[in-house]
Structure 1
Amino acid sequence: MTAVAGERTPVDVAVGVLIDGDERFLLTSRPPGKVYEGYWEFPGGKLEPGEGVEQALARELHEELGITIDGAERWKVELMDYPHARVRLHFCKVRRWHGAFEMREGQQMAWEQLPVAVRPVLPGTVPVLRWLAEERGHAGLTHAA
């Protein structure tokens, strides 16, 4: 899913890789009515003008999930080309938050481990699963067949 340089201007997106005390990570489904409806992904959203990655992530996670994060660790950046948009995904690890999870956009949530059980997984999520597998010594173990 690579693109020719200069083909389309990428949209910057802040993405939260929420990791709990058991090293599980949170995936949410794409809400009804959105592109790739029902696909599973790490939560987040587009940066608004003048907004930094951490600011956008905090805002998006509060708007979508009802939680307030206590900081975010910038992790990796990945450029993805989808038919509807070219996006630059800024992945941040989040290990501390407070508040009760509320699925405010009608999405679902699942705490996952490798290999993930939910299907289908959004293409932009696959590299993150690979990175997590590499970090955890599970190379090649990203999702079940």
Structure 2
Amino acid sequence: MTVRVVVGGALCHDGRLLAARRSTPPELAGRWELPGGKAEPGESVPEALVRELREELGVETEPLERIPGEWPVRPGLVLQVWTARLLSGEPEALTEHDKVRWLAPAELDSVDWLDQDRPAVAEIGRRLRAAAPR
């Protein structure tokens, strides 16, 4: 079976991480995720990230690095998470989300993350805390 990659964007800005609340499908509505989506055939994962964040949030971004690991979404689909830098635009919920929020490291546990996003969110939280001015 061919495994397709879903790319999640860990969009960080001013020491905070962007979280997006799903509005579809019904079984995921109301839960939070790292925005992104499926890589199309012939598209690299970083290219998919830039396209998905443009479509879902209306922003231009630069992929930086992949968070180690990948997490099953459902059979034939795995999540890979990349950190990304905001180049232009202000993120807004355009398609599959009804709300977006910037979360400081101490606020990451304040939303109900999708299960497959939790390991990457924990790693991003560690990185944000480590990079915070002391």
Q: For the aligned residues, what is the CA RMSD?
A: 2.2
Shift of 1:81: 4.5
Work out which structure has the larger RCO, using CA pairs closer than 8 Å and 6 or more positions apart in sequence. Answer: 2
Q: Deviations over 1:81-132 (max 9, x none)?
A: 54xx453212111123202323111421011123425432100121012213
SS of 1:104's equivalent? coil
CA distance in 2, matches of 1:133, 1:101: 20
The aligned residue for residue 58 of structure 2 is 66
Higher Cα radius of gyration: 1
Q: Normalised by the size of structure 2, how large is the TM-score? A: 0.80
Determine if the alignment matches structure 1 residue 20 to structure 2 residue 10: no
Alignment of structure 1 residues 66-105 onto 2, 5 Å: 66-82=58-74, 85-105=75-95
Q: Deviations over 1:23-77 (max 9, x none)?
A: 1100001123354111101000001111101110011000000011134322323
Query: Aligned in 2, Cα 1:88/1:32: closer, same or farther, shift over 3 Å?
Result: closer
The aligned residue for residue 47 of structure 1 is 39
2:20–2:100 contact (8 Å) kept in structure 1: yes
Q: How many residues align?
A: 127
Determine if the alignment matches structure 1 residue 31 to structure 2 residue 15: no
Identity over the aligned pairs, expressed in percent?
31
* Greater share of residues in strand: 2
Alignment of structure 1 residues 104-119 onto 2, 5 Å: 104-105=94-95, 106-113=97-104, 114-116=106-108, 118-119=110-111
CA distance in 2, matches of 1:18, 1:30: 16
* Greater share of residues in helix: 2
Dislocated runs of 4+, deviation >6 Å: none
CA distance in 2, matches of 1:28, 1:51: 23
1:79–1:86 contact (8 Å) kept in structure 2: no
Point out where structure 1 has 5 or more consecutive residues left out of the alignment.
Answer: 1-7, 138-145
CA distance in 1, matches of 2:46, 2:26: 24
SS of 1:116's equivalent? helix
